[in-house]
Amino acid sequence: MATPVTPAEASPIAPEIPPAIDMAEDVRHFSAKLSAYLKPEEVARVEAAYAFSATAHSGQLRSSGEPYVSHPLAVAGTLADWHLDPQAVIAALLHDVMEDTAITKQEIADRFGKSAAELVDGVSKIDRIENQSYEEAQAENFRKMLLAMARDVRVILIKLADRLHNMRTLGAVPVEKRRRIARETLDIYAPIANRLGLNTLYRELQELSFLHLHPLRHNVLAKAVKKARGNRRELVGKITETLRRRLPEAGIEAEVMGREKHLYGIYRKMREKHLSFSQVLDIYGFRVIVKDIPTCYLALGTLHGIYKPVPGKFKDYIAIPKANGYQSLHTTLIGPYGTPVEVQVRTAEMHHVAESGVASHWLYKDESALSELQQQTHKWLQSLIELQSASGDSAEFLEHVKVDLFPGEIYVFTPKGKILGLSRGATAVDFAYAVHTDIGNRCVACRINFELMPLRTELKNGDRIEIITATHANPNPAWLSYVKSGKARAQIRHFLKTQQQGESAALGERLLGQTLAGLGLHLADIVAGVWERFLRDRSAKSKRDVLTDIGLGKRHAAIVARRLAAAREAEGGTPVEHKPRGAITIRGSEGLAVQLAKCCRPIPGDPIVGIIRKGQGLMVHTHDCRSIGKKHHERDNWVDVEWEPNTTQLFEVGIRIVAENRRGVLAKVAAEIAAGGSDIQNVSMDDDRSMYTTLNFTLQVSNRVHLARLMRGLRHIPEVLRITRTKE
């Protein structure tokens, strides 16, 4: 899609000379590219697609004033450089016709085949819905494009080529739009190019995004690098000459290249490490290209003999490739004058993959012939579909994809020795979901390097992880605060959302039943015909959705009950009479739909009140809780609740103990709590180094009677001066 121009921006004035004649030289150059790798009949089909595109876009100009067809021609030219198949090149030439002209998908299919039509459709934007924000519309478009990419990666290759040409010609659009497109490119398209191994494209998208996002910083840095280039030319020449002489002396045939690092890479290093430009010494790097893998390691040993290596700065991406297939040996050496020098050692084939990526070389071969790397990329594409099914909406899906676009930076081992790549900062929970969704959902503990460790433990390179699961375990909402991978986050949210919807439907049924009882009705009195009338009148999808909305506070039970009663009368039922409503019973085991407020921590025996909070369900407070006393405007959402008489749950409660600051007092208190049949969930101590100390406990008790008995036992300890229950 051509971002710098929309149908509204396209000029309605048609040029007198057709674009095809106007751009004859560009078309000849494009045809020459195609002839280098396609059959004559295939070239003819692509040229016919160009003529079709030129006719469809006739009369449109880009923001720069060029004929509009110059854009699809440039996009198709990039795909021809990658040697993509004719269908993909045809789709590139036609990628804007469905969006910007009256041409339909069926017309494209009839003229150029179903495959080309599907590709064009995958790249085309969805029509924006009325009242939908720009962010929502963009998220929906990204979801459509990424799912189309999961089915056929040529969709994203066309889109990346499209975005590359738009970025190269971005100077013609307004500044605000330019910055928005550049930010979008840096956040989404550049990481996708990196994930597919298109390194050259990845770097150019980053550089162009940096130029348009921060033009002043880009210019200042470009001048600084140009100035430093003269000062360091002698150094680079000296190192290059040394390597070219010493490697053959060791019997190693190698091609040595010095390269200047990209401006965005230098800028990011300065920001992340808080360095000035003068402190970024390694703005130059070197590549050593040899014939095979054994020679890579021989060359590395020779390099370490020429210049001393920097400890901890060696990375072996040959034995353990990056997620996008990148392979090289990386080392940092101390060069002449104490300057650090980064050197990459790789084979010619690895160099080709590093520069061009694997995407364009394997897509249309027999799947049985795919290498392990190609299968890994294929799995990543398929994982997008899994992320989609676990995500609630387009914005959430896009958030998860953004997280997963940055390749793994640490490598860990399963108990069987298999290597998994994860993002830096990943935890044992991320590892569990990377192995399998069911392992993640059922994990309860982990062993890292044979030691039991918390699930939130951050993993390090080389860790060996074993996940311990339990049949009835479920994901914990607290995991969302520390998981890093998009898959883990999406699956946890999906599970919790499904669980909450089930629990909310059950709560909604209880709330509606309670309200109907006040009208002299039972849920059983509301027959299928009444529900159908209600759903039709209220534009609701199903009875379950209505009950879920009531449980989540999105609908008022009283309003639904009155309308159901009215629908029942309209269906011929008897008029209702008002009766006192019963209270909802609280067991403490309802799950996410019914929550005990953290501010007052009610336990059985406390007088309680329930409040329906939109999107959260039923929140239970003590009747004297300060937080609800301040919110009189919420009285309409209050619900009568009472404790179930024989609940077997344990409830958290806080107590504060002031005791003499003597040796062994904490042990005495803990022993008394254990003797009272309670578990300690948490303990903290306020020690002001005086005669007295304050102990704060979070305990588990059955009810107020249990708590009173426990506190009575604690008062018998001689060192205990005062004990109180804490609520706030």
CA–CA gap between residue 710 and residue 723 (Å, rounded): 11
> What SS3 class is residue 10?
coil
CA–CA gap between residue 402 and residue 190 (Å, rounded): 11
CA–CA gap between residue 565 and residue 571 (Å, rounded): 10
CA dihedral for 135, 136, 138, 143, sign (positive or negative): positive
Residue pair 75/26 in contact by the 8 Å Cβ criterion = no
Q: Where are the alpha helices (DSSP H) in 169-314?
A: 175-184, 190-195, 199-213, 215-249, 263-273, 293-306
**Which amino acid appears at position 104 of this protein?**
T
Residues present in the chain in total: 728
Pairing state between β 617-622 and 594-596 = parallel
CA–CA gap between residue 382 and residue 395 (Å, rounded): 19
DSSP string, 141-191: HHHHHHHHHHH-THHHHHHHHHHHHHHHTGGGS-HHHHHHHHHHIIIIIHH
Q: Using CA atoms in the order 420, 421, 424, 429, what is the torsion angle rounded to 10 degrees?
A: -40
Give the CA angle between residues 589, 594, 597 to the nearest 5°: 105
> What SS3 class is residue 469?
strand
Q: Which two tokens stand for residue 334?
A: 């101390």
CA–CA gap between residue 115 and residue 109 (Å, rounded): 7
Give the CA angle between residues 84, 86, 92 to the nearest 5°: 75
Residue pair 680/698 in contact by the 8 Å Cβ criterion = yes
CA distances, 488 to each of 139, 399, 439, 463, 483 (Å): 20, 12, 11, 19, 7
**Alpha-carbon radius of gyration of the chain:** 33
Long-range contacts of 165-171 (CB under 8 A, 24+ apart): 165/71, 165/74, 165/75, 165/78, 166/2, 166/3, 166/4, 166/71, 167/204, 167/205, 167/208, 167/209, 167/212, 168/208, 169/4, 169/62, 169/64, 169/71, 170/4, 170/208, 170/212, 171/64
Please name which of 650, 391, 397, 596 lies closest in space to residue 496, comparing C-alpha atoms: 391
Burial (CB count <10 Å: 0-12, 13-18, 19+), residue 632: exposed
Please name which of 244, 154, 228, 167 lies closest in space to residue 201, comparing C-alpha atoms: 167
Please name which of 437, 484, 435 lies closest in space to residue 456, comparing C-alpha atoms: 484
Burial 52-78 (b: 16+ CB within 10 A, else e): bbbebbbebbbbeebbbbbbbbbbbbb
CA–CA gap between residue 165 and residue 205 (Å, rounded): 10
Provide the 8-state DSSP code for 419. E
Residues marked as catalytic: 99-100
User: What distance lies between CA 257 and its chain's CA centroid?
Assistant: 37
Q: Strand ranges (DSSP E) for 464-549?
A: 465-469
Please name which of 178, 180, 211, 205 lies closest in space to residue 191, comparing C-alpha atoms: 205
Q: Using CA atoms in the order 213, 214, 216, 220, what is the torsion angle rounded to 10 degrees?
A: -130
CA–CA gap between residue 250 and residue 299 (Å, rounded): 8
